[in-house]
Amino acid sequence: MSACPFHYSQYRSSAPELIDRFIDAFPLATLTSQVEGRFFSSHIPLLRDADGSLFGHVDGNNPQFRGISVLDCQIIFMGPSAYIPPKGYVSAQLPTWNYLAVHMQAQVRVSAEASRNLEILRRTAQRLATDEADYQVDSADPRVVANLSHILGLSVHPQTTEGRFKLSQDKTAQDALSALEWLQSQRLEKHHALMADLLSAAFTPLSH
């Protein structure tokens, strides 16, 4: 477990099975590093390997990784989160914000080798497929051939890993379960208009 500047012990977890299951369920990670004195962050799905490392790939034009063979990153996997109001509890409680995350310090090795990166693409598609009919990588596919030279493969080697699972564990078991039900009930439907507007803006020419 990492030396965390501030976090209550009841929310911190070093249980490998729970952390592995969490990363499998929420593989989109934020990788942050320093490049020439500037902070860069990228959002990249990372998938676990049997030896404890993780793998993924990025666009070859990404300045965080372009021209770099090895770098150190702070990596955060984020899961669901929600504001828990007093009515989300059984007893009288103040509101709070509950969330699920895994923090990782890791060394990231960057590969421009086509054969290795093709294998990363293959394994990524296999891992994320939900049934036999889902997309699988075909090395003869012209789209794969055209894009393979434009990606970089990532091999992530964790140095410290810590779960930060804030689920009202400081409350009674009954209140904690009630808060969990509240968190699980917070769907994205109420944000449909916002997300639709964000998508629409991407297709709207900027005015000058």
**Sequence spans of domains, the chain:** 9-202
**Pick among 2.40.30.160, 2.30.110.10, 2.30.40.10, 3.40.50.410: CATH of 9-202:** 2.30.110.10
**pLDDT greater than 50 at residue 208:** no
Q: How far apart are CA 180 and CA 14, in angstroms?
A: 21
- Residue 166 bridge partners (DSSP): 99
Can you read off the two tokens belonging to residue 208?
A: 């000058």
Burial group, residue 66, by CB count within 10 angstroms (0-12, 13-18, 19+)? middle
- pTM for the model: 0.89
Task: Provide the b/e sequence for 106-118 (b: ≥16 CB within 10 Å).
Answer: bebbbbeeeeebb
pLDDT tens, 136-153? Answer: 999 999 999 999 999 999
pLDDT tens, 167-204? Answer: 999 999 999 999 999 988 877 677 788 778 877 887 77
pLDDT tens, 28-59? Answer: 999 999 988 899 999 999 999 999 999 999 99
